[in-house]
Amino acid sequence: MTTLAIDIGGTKFAVALFEDERMVKHQRQATDRAAGRDWMLDRIGSITRDWRASHRIDRCGIGFGGPVDFEKQRVVFSTHVRGWDGCDLPGFVQEQIGVRPIMDNDANTGALGEALYGAGRGCRPLFYLTLSTGIGGGIVTGGATLYRGADSYAGEIGHLTIRPDGPECLCGSRGCLERMCCGLWLERDYGRPAQELFQDAAFAERYVVDLALGLKAAIMLLNPARIVIGGGISKAGDALFGPLRAELRRQITAWSRARIDVVPAALGDDSVLYGALALASRT
Ligand SMILES: [Zn+2]
């Protein structure tokens, strides 16, 4: 069984081909935000047409970096790349490869990838946080069941208010977790990429206060067996996870015996691709 997996993010996009559960082809490129949706559709179309010439594609999964209406299988919009509003992305991909893909947002897809193939194996419920250009969350219950909520908006922790008087977020609210902690705004606010910022221990100590306020909500609401954090910022490793665990223990006082088990994603940049594989094969 051959599965095409597509990961569309605000900073990069990736396409992979799996033979059963083995990744046999992989291509990753930077997202040209200014060129918008049509540029990306053109790139995806060209790669998939090339691969289709040498492989039969049986099924396809897509993780999209923005809200997705799962029932209608439509992109709602992207706050990071223009032109995606209401896009029938599965319909476009179907025209290229001849099979109907299944699509979810990239946080749900990444959650599924880590739950089945990565750091969340055997841990249910699992909460997955993607700490990247933006911030998203995914909840996996039972074996491989994503909790999507009534309107596909469950897990949208990025727009939880952390600082009510904080700066304006791209969503229109103020002081959202995403506004305070995501890669896009770190770079705009500090003029340096996150990887550089985390070399300064004093920065990390300040940063984890807001991040822990967001994660505390997930812990109190869900009591997850484990929290897995993926996305580019999670690559800061111990410089992030050490202070974060300490801050969570400080915020979640001893009255709650809820476990604080927070680990980096095991699949690195490929969580969403493995999740897309799982989405295509299980949903
Ligand atoms: Zn927001």
Query: Which H or E run includes 94?
Result: helix 89-97
* pLDDT tier for residue 143 given thresholds of 50, 70 and 90: confident
Task: Provide the residue type at 126 as one letter.
Answer: L
Q: Tell me how far apart the alpha carbons of residues 247 and 126 are, in angstroms, rounded to a whole number.
A: 20
Task: Please check whether residues 37 and 155 belong to one and the same domain.
Answer: no
Domain count, the chain: 2
User: Residue 21 has what pLDDT?
Assistant: 96
Q: What is the CATH number of the domain that holds 243?
A: 3.30.420.40
Q: How far, in Å, are 60, 184, 199, 242 from residue 192 at the CA level?
A: 36, 10, 11, 22
Whether 208 has a pLDDT exceeding 70, the answer reads yes
Residue 206 in this model has a pLDDT that exceeds 60? yes
Both 46 and 155 in one domain: the answer is: no
Q: Quick one: 134 and 232 in the same domain?
A: yes
**pLDDT for 196 beyond 70:** yes
- Residues 51, 79, single domain; the answer is yes
Question: Which residues are within 8 A (CB) of 22 and not within 5 positions of it... i.e. 6 or more apart?
Answer: none
Tell me the per-residue pLDDT of 59-68, one tens digit each, with 9 for 90 and over: 999 999 999 9
Distance 55 CA to ligand 1 centre (A): 41
Q: Residue 283's pLDDT is what?
A: 53
Q: What is the mean pLDDT of residues 219-227?
A: 97
| Phi and psi, residue 2, nearest 5° | -110, 130
- pTM higher than 0.75, yes or no? yes
278 in the same domain as 255: no
Question: b/e map of 78-88 (b: 16 or more CB within 10 Å)?
Answer: bbbbeebeebe
How remote is the CA of residue 191 from the centroid of ligand 1, in Å? 21
Distance 162 CA to ligand 1 centre (A): 10
Rounded percentage of the chain residues whose pLDDT exceeds 90? 86
Average pLDDT over residues 119-132: 97
pLDDT recorded at residue 255: 86
Dump strand ranges (E) for 31-151: 59-64, 68-69, 74-75, 102-105, 126-131, 135-141, 145-146
Q: Is it the case that residue 103 has pLDDT exceeding 80?
A: yes
Per-position DSSP letters for 124-173, written without gaps between them = SSEEEEEESSSEEEEEEETTTEE---TTS-TT-GGGSBS-TTSPBPTTS-
22 CA to centre of ligand 1 in angstroms: 37
161 Cα: distance to centroid of ligand 1 (angstroms): 8
Q: What average pLDDT does the chain have?
A: 94
Band the pLDDT of 31: cuts 50, 70, 90. Answer: confident
> Ligand 1 centroid to 183 CA: how many Å?
14
Better pLDDT: 80 or 152: 152
**Residues 242, 173 within the same domain:** yes
